[in-house]
Amino acid sequence: MTGQKSGRAHLIAGGFPPGSAAGHDHDYARLRLLGLLAERDVPASVANDFSDIEKWLPVSQLLITYVAGPYPDAAQCRAIQHWLEAGGHWLGLHGTSGGRAERVEGMRQRRTVKAEHHALLGSYFLTHPPICRIRIEVSDIEHPLTRGLGTSFEVEDEPYFIELQAPDSTRILLSADYGPGAVSPSIGTLYARDTSLQPDGKTRVLGYVRKVGNGGVAYFALGHCHNPAIRAARTADAADATPPAFRGAWESDAFITLLRNAVTWGVGA
């Protein structure tokens, strides 16, 4: 497979099982992302999962994924890796670091199963505490992906715990200290320890970039959104004070700047 400088993008946005929202407003995210591509006159194809990824990669320069459940299998990962090595760019957002979840006896929550796509993406989702206000530190304000963000910004979002898979070859761009209140019962039960913590014992990574051959992968954990129907379908939680319609980072100028930068990075303009 060869990467083509086509200026096209392929966008995957959807939940699992097919047709399921899986807790996220994929329609909203899809429309916002297509709008950002249209700003740059970047033509795009759209899918709900990775089932036909091999058809679209050869004619695409940028792959964008905003998913909650769908993930590439081993063969699809090989196709993506070959495409990246040939010069493609993959922008993974939010739930892309998740995937298949398994039941754990005696637990209501499920544990993410580590798979091939986590190694390729460079991160593995563990869990997240409830939505909160997050102050995000920008590590490199001159990097093309973070240009215009300043040294920090704030958003309301899910505070993701992700485990880096190749820290030595990963350039951290965004990080946050959630503070002592951001705790999860999954740590110590579903997961033996909190492998999302950085060496300082308090900072977690929320965004990074890594090279893969002549191409690269960028991942940003931000971007949760839901609508009233999705919120109503959730198990009632008295501690959940988020509004029925939640856009979070999507209403932040900083996040939109980040996405615009990512489109430019992805199509090489």
Read off the pLDDT of each residue in 196-213 and give the average, rounded to a whole number.
Answer: 97
Read off the pLDDT of each residue in 105-120 and give the average, rounded to a whole number.
Answer: 93
Among 245, 242, 264, residue whose Cα is nearest residue 156: 242
68-96 burial, b at 16+ Cβ within 10 Å, e below that, comes to bbbbbeeebbebbbbbbbbbbbbbbbbbb
Does 15 have pLDDT greater than 80? yes
Cis peptide bond upstream of 17, omega within 30: yes
Task: In whole angstroms, give the CA distance from residue 252 to residue 47.
Answer: 26
Q: What's the pLDDT tens digit per position in 77-99?
A: 999 999 999 999 999 999 999 99
Greater confidence (1 vs 143) lies with: 143
Read off the pLDDT of each residue in 65-69 and give the average, rounded to a whole number.
Answer: 97
Q: Angle at Cα 69 formed by Cα 166 and Cα 229, nearest 5°?
A: 135
262 located within any domain: yes
Q: Tokens 């922008």 belong to which residue?
A: 91
Query: Residue 188 contacts by C-beta under 8 Å, 6 or more apart in sequence?
Result: none
| Range list of H helices, the chain | 26-39, 53-56, 74-85, 116-121, 228-233, 253-267
55 located within any domain: yes
Q: Angle at Cα 56 formed by Cα 37 and Cα 100, nearest 5°?
A: 90
Q: What is the pLDDT of residue 9?
A: 98
The structural domain count of the chain equals 1
1 located within any domain: no
Query: Residue 251 contacts by C-beta under 8 Å, 6 or more apart in sequence?
Result: none
Read off the pLDDT of each residue in 19-40 and give the average, rounded to a whole number.
Answer: 96
Residue 207: pLDDT band with limits 50, 70, 90: very high
Residue 3: pLDDT band with limits 50, 70, 90: very low
Read off the pLDDT of each residue in 161-168 and give the average, rounded to a whole number.
Answer: 97
2 located within any domain: no
Average model confidence (pLDDT) across the chain: 94
| Lowest mean per-residue pLDDT among 37-41, 87-91, 107-111 | 107-111
Q: What is the pLDDT of residue 236?
A: 56
Residue 125 has a CB neighbour count (10 Å cut-off) of 22
Domain assignment of residue 14, given as a range:
9-267
Does 32 have pLDDT greater than 90? yes
4 located within any domain: no
Q: What is the pLDDT of residue 4?
A: 47
CB 6 within 8 A of CB 269: no
Does 161 have pLDDT greater than 70? yes
| Domain harbouring 76, CATH code | 3.40.50.880
Query: Residue 41 contacts by C-beta under 8 Å, 6 or more apart in sequence?
Result: none
Task: In whole angstroms, give the CA distance from residue 63 to residue 53.
Answer: 10
At 42, is the secondary structure helix, strand, or coil? coil
3 located within any domain: no
Please give the structure tokens belonging to residue 185. 């019962």
258 located within any domain: yes
Among 39, 26, 219, residue whose Cα is nearest residue 119: 219
35 located within any domain: yes
Does 269 have pLDDT greater than 60? no
pTM, rounded to two decimals: 0.95
